[in-house]
A = this chain, B = another copy of it.
Amino acid sequence: MIIAKTPEDVKKVVSGWKKEGLKIGLCPTMGYLHEGHASLVDASVANCDRTIVSVFVNPIQFGPTEDLATYPRDFERDCALLEEHGADLVFHPDPEDMYFDDFCTYVDMDVLPDTLCGASRAGHFRGVCTVVNKLFNISKADMAFFGKKDAQQLAVIKRMVRDLNIDIEIYGCPIVREDDGLAKSSRNTYLSDEERKAALILSRTVLEGQHICAAGERNSAALKEAMMKKLAEEPMADVEYVEVVDGLNMQPVEEFKEGDLVAMAVRIGKTRLIDNFTVGDPDIVI
């Protein structure tokens, strides 16, 4: 497994792979990898000849009051996991390898970033689009793999690819959960034992929402009310949003349909957690 630090290092390797006509898969990550990330790597290895994983805590997608400095990092452990899952190249740049001092170009989007996580995280998706666009250009990947846990991110990336005519196939991988239902997240490491238990209210609320949809409910207000009621069962849960949005443009809908997204962000203590389901997808297993 090759470890590359600079875009130029990646370019050299990729240009050889391209000459051989190999199909390249990219899994963009911020490191501190868990089985959710591993599932992206597995999907890439299954679908592509070569798999590039980027491990980069991207400063420009964090707000000034967010957890950039404390975001968990363990590159050695990440490399062990990636080697085990068959990644071919790990791209692990320093921020200054990605952003010159006078860096000033951004990929931004109207509409899709206004709702859900974008509403409270100003500039977050601008940072995501910009770094992912750079990673696409650096890796020259034919396919890229993203987790459905970050559902809005996945929709934003798909829209960027469509709007800018980027020749890459975007593959959304199902949410990977702990045995008790909690969606895997690098941020779960922030949770105390007590918070870890309280955090289960997210997946339980997802399941509750899925049951309500399966029973035929299609009115967003009714679904949201029921899910808010479920979340209220957990005193430690501080709800940022529960929302039902169109699966493509992420805008709130009054009546929802298959393919639309039901998403939530909830703080447990100081930790902000997200979870979601797509209407029509199989129920999560807890």
- Seen from chain A, the residues whose Cβ lies within 8 Å of a Cβ on chain B are 7, 11, 100, 102-112, 129-130, 133-134, 137-138, 140, 159-160, 162-167, 249
Instruction: Give the distance in Å from the alpha carbon of A222 to the alpha carbon of B212 in the complex.
Output: 75
What chain B residues lie within 8 Å of A109 (beta carbons)?
104-106
Neighbouring B residues of A100 by C-beta, 8 Å: 162-163
Give the residues in chain B near A165, CB-CB below 8 Å.
7, 134, 137-138
Cross-chain pairs A/B with CB under 8 angstroms, 26 sampled: A11-B167, A102-B111, A102-B249, A104-B109, A104-B110, A104-B111, A104-B112, A104-B159, A105-B108, A105-B129, A105-B159, A105-B160, A106-B107, A106-B108, A106-B109, A107-B108, A108-B108, A130-B164, A133-B164, A134-B163, A134-B164, A134-B165, A137-B164, A137-B165, A138-B165, A140-B167
The smallest beta-carbon distance between A219 and chain B, in angstroms, is: 25
Residues of chain B within 8 A (CB-CB) of A106 are 107-110
Quick one: copies of this chain in the complex?
A: 2
- Contact yes or no, A103 B11, CB < 8 A: no
Q: Which B residue's beta carbon lies closest to that of A134?
A: B165
Q: A104-B159, A105-B108 are in contact. List 10 more A-B contacts (CB 8 A).
A: A100-B162, A102-B111, A103-B163, A104-B110, A104-B111, A105-B129, A105-B163, A106-B107, A106-B110, A137-B165
CA distance A167 to B133 in the complex (A): 12
Residues of B within 8 Å of A108, CB to CB, are 105-108
Contacts of A110 in B (CB 8 A): 104, 106
Q: Note all chain B residues with C-beta closer than 8 A to A133.
A: 164
A85-B112 Cα distance, complex, nearest whole Å: 43
Which residue of B103, B137, B163, B166 contacts A104 across the interface (Cβ within 8 Å)? B163
